Amino acid sequence: MSTANFETRAQRLSAAQIARLLGACLLAFGVFLSGFVISEPAPYELVMVIQIAIWFLLGLRISRTVCLLLALLMVFNIGGMFSITVMKDMSGAPMYIAVSTFLALSSVFYAAIIEDDPGRFELIFRVWVVAAIITALLGILGYFNAFPGAHMFTRYDRAMGAFQDPNVFGPYLIAPILYMLYRLLTGRIMEAPFLITGILVLVIGVFLSFSRAAWGLLLFSGIALVVAMLLKERTTAFRLKILMISAIAALALILALVIALQIPQISDLFTNRAKLVQSYDGARFGRFERHRIGFLMAMERPFGLGPMAFGKIYGEDEHNIWLKSLTTYGWLGAVTYQIMIWSTIWMGFRYLLRERPWQPYLMICWVMILGHSLIGNVIDTDHWRHFYLLLGLLWGCYALEHRHMRRQRAIDATAGAAGA
């Protein structure tokens, strides 16, 4: 090889490495900003719009599997566009659907990014952990009014970090908790002190959000992940290790909860929030009554009521994603959303225990999506950035699995032909 050719190849390699590094930095910055959504549109939107455009202009591809996700999300949002046409007062509605459409595209972007290189999982979750710890600390410090102006990180005496709502702040912290829990159960003992510290900070953040949905999601997802790991592992010794560490972690969290409840400010709010049914849930025209009325009303309106119209009528939003899909996205959006969520859960169940390099992330994302579907009965999730991040990561796993199966079939066919 001539000196000139060698230098040209080195320059190309260097340029490729620089492009890869810049892409990783941009991706990491976007994920980091997902933890700081104080208003809409947030800085996250701006960075992600630029990033999505750059990646696809530079050749990021969408496979058939990811195309299916894109089609489902676009039909879902087309339903939302139709719903705007029945509104008399459309103020804010176009922006609402614009944000919904953007979040849909962000999900497709994450799926394509993961299919292109599953090694990006580690980067995404590490950055998510950092963002979660920072926003959790802001929420904790705000709850205790640790510095002047710290109250801006709380609402209704509940921690909300750099979010608009404690009910979004709490669930945002749980995927990083699962990631660190998985690392704690499977990793080296030297990492344990750092992982335990991180988990405690995030769990305290979830607790101080006083979000019943977040509490339930944390309990469900933690148990579900441990169960999935016990099913995955075949050796008795490793299963015992998982059970022992899980039991110790549970006892530590219970002890931390008991200590926290000694603080009157926390104890009083916890006693009030721990009730399964609040006064605004079961009262006349409370949350559950509004759900019933909303479903009956939506059955008569194929195009729905329009974005935010339900809240203007009843003074409160739907607080139920299944009802929200009907009122805001119409029958078309609601049916599409049901198909998307349940097909996502079914595919994840099929692939959950297959031994793959991306299996740990598939387990975490699948447990989280299943958990979000459950808490969706009492809360709206259609504008949660981290929900679309999880959805995209999970479909990225499905795209990887489908590609793996196609390659395996090709290898088997080649081997069969050679044997014949």
Tens of pLDDT, residue by residue over 333-364, are 999 999 999 999 999 999 998 999 999 999 99
- What DSSP letter does each residue of 188-253 carry, written as one string? -GGGHHHHHHHHHHHHHHHHHTT-HHHHHHHHHHHHHHHHHHHHH---HHHHHHHHHHHHHHHHHH
Looking at per-residue confidence, does 45 or 121 come out higher? 121
Banded pLDDT at 110 (limits 50, 70, 90): very high
Predicted pLDDT of residue 225: 93
Find the mean pLDDT for residues 157-165: 91
Predicted pLDDT of residue 9: 55
Q: Contact 154/355 with Cβ under 8 angstroms?
A: no
Q: What's the pLDDT tens digit per position in 312-332?
A: 888 778 889 999 999 999 999
d(CA 108, CA 66): 7
d(CA 73, CA 86): 21
Q: Contact 170/143 with Cβ under 8 angstroms?
A: no
Residue 249 has pLDDT above 80, yes or no: no
Banded pLDDT at 67 (limits 50, 70, 90): very high
Q: Contact 338/310 with Cβ under 8 angstroms?
A: no
- Lowest-pLDDT range, 14-23, 145-154, 321-330? 14-23
Banded pLDDT at 199 (limits 50, 70, 90): very high
pTM equals 0.90
Looking at per-residue confidence, does 65 or 22 come out higher? 65
Please, what sign has the CA dihedral across residues 377, 73, 91, 383?
A: positive
Share of the chain above pLDDT 90, in %: 51
Banded pLDDT at 290 (limits 50, 70, 90): confident
Q: Select from 206, 17, 202, 61 the least CA-distant residue to 125.
A: 202
Predicted pLDDT of residue 5: 59
Give the start-to-end residue ranges of the domains of the chain. 34-412
Predicted pLDDT of residue 22: 82
Find the mean pLDDT for residues 224-252: 82
Find the mean pLDDT for residues 137-149: 91
Q: Select from 395, 387, 415, 406 the least CA-distant residue to 172.
A: 387
Residue 11 has pLDDT above 60, yes or no: no
- Lowest-pLDDT range, 88-102, 108-122, 393-407? 88-102
Q: DSSP letter at 277?
A: S
Banded pLDDT at 220 (limits 50, 70, 90): very high
Banded pLDDT at 260 (limits 50, 70, 90): confident
Residue 278 has pLDDT above 80, yes or no: no
Predicted pLDDT of residue 166: 93
Residue 297 has pLDDT above 60, yes or no: yes
Predicted pLDDT of residue 314: 80
Predicted pLDDT of residue 185: 86
